[in-house]
Amino acid sequence: MRWASRASVMVAVILISIKGVAWWLSGSVAMWGSLADSTLDLAASLVTLYAIKLALLPPDEDHRFGHGKAEALAGLFQASIMSGSAAYLALESIGRIWSPEPVSATNLVMVVSAVSIGLTLLLILFQSYVIRHTKSLAVSGDHLHYKGDLLLNAGVILAAFLAGAGYMLADGIIGLMIAAYILYGAYDIVVPAIHMLMDREFSDEEREQIFNIVMEGNGVLGVHDLKTRTSGRDKFIQMHLEVDGTITVHAGHLIADEAEAALSEVFPDAEILIHIDPPAPAEVSEDLTIREIAHIED
């Protein structure tokens, strides 16, 4: 995660440098949009670098559940600066459509955009590897930025080509399309960040999987009050496990240990908390789904 964030910062610095020169020489609004996006990528990557450093800190006295939500805060920051950039670029593009201007140094714009695509593709491949192994929301946000940059740079090449062929409106139109794509990317980042901050439950499929794993254990008569949430890389699972009320505390504890071990094989990064209860008053069949059990409890 640390190396992924460092790599994104280095790539952003390189792209800003070469795109700045290309925009200064060409005056292309599409290249300006690409430059603005890379500048925002650098800001977002720096925030991501700090957020990952914070998120990887172990729990302490003030943060008993760790610091994983720093990744969600970084995601909200990324989304906010992307939204501001998209709004400003849209206004610039509309102005260029209203009053078209010629684009110079189109060959330079296309070469710079092609180099940007190559560097971005290498970074995306590395980030994909990191995401597969860590599920990091902060790295995923950066990853989404740079995936969008592939299309963005392709759009800049198309705008430069069309502008060079005499279609001056193409620069503003494609700039407007780039702004819309940046705004769409911001939405894709902010939604999972809000879900994490609001302690959203696991998916229905994952909750069903948890229920089935636990119910397969010896001595388990039922499960209720299943609660789940995610904080950065960490997952939290807690539940009440129903066992025979006549067995010893030690025997009940062993049943809970077996259930925890079985869950840990499927959710290795999860912190699991199990409370032992006697059976619920109503008989509940083992093949009931989580929704059906919740309905019975209500």
Q: Is the pLDDT of residue 215 over 90?
A: yes
pLDDT: is 131 or 204 the higher one?
A: 204
Mean predicted confidence (pLDDT) in 173-202: 83
pTM of the full predicted structure? 0.63
Tokens encoding 196 = 């994490």
User: Beta 234-242 vs 222-231: how paired, if at all?
Assistant: antiparallel
Average pLDDT, the chain: 80
Q: Residue 54 and residue 73: Cα distance in Å, rounded?
A: 11
Q: Could you give all domains of the chain from N- to C-terminal order, each with its CATH number?
A: 2-197 (1.20.1510.10), 204-297 (3.30.70.1350)
Largest CA distance in the chain: 86
Encode pLDDT of 102-153 as tens digits: 555 557 777 887 888 888 889 889 988 888 887 777 777 777 767 767 777 7
Q: Residue 101 and residue 40: Cα distance in Å, rounded?
A: 26
Q: Which residue from 193, 11, 159 is spatially nearest to 89, judged by alpha carbons?
A: 159
Q: Residue 187 and residue 9: Cα distance in Å, rounded?
A: 22
CB 75 within 8 A of CB 137: yes
Q: Residue 35 and residue 28: Cα distance in Å, rounded?
A: 10
pLDDT attached to residue 296: 43
How far CA 12 is from CA of 17, 122, 141, 282, in Å, comes to: 9, 13, 14, 60
Q: Which residue from 169, 161, 149 is spatially nearest to 111, judged by alpha carbons?
A: 161
Helix 137-164 and helix 106-134, axial crossing angle in degrees, nearest 10: 160
Taking phi first (over 0 means left), then psi (-120 to 50 degrees means alpha), and beta for anything else, what does residue 7 get?
alpha
Encode pLDDT of 46-101 as tens digits: 887 888 788 778 878 888 787 878 878 888 887 887 787 778 778 877 877 777 65
Identity of the highest mean pLDDT range in 6-20, 87-101, 180-194, 257-271: 257-271
pLDDT attached to residue 281: 63
Query: Would you place residue 164 in the very low, low, confident or very high pLDDT band (cuts 50, 70, 90)?
Result: low
- The CA-based angle 197-240-219, given to 5 degrees, is 140
Phi/psi for 244 (5° steps) reads: -60, 125
Q: Residue 59 and residue 42: Cα distance in Å, rounded?
A: 29
pLDDT: is 52 or 268 the higher one?
A: 268
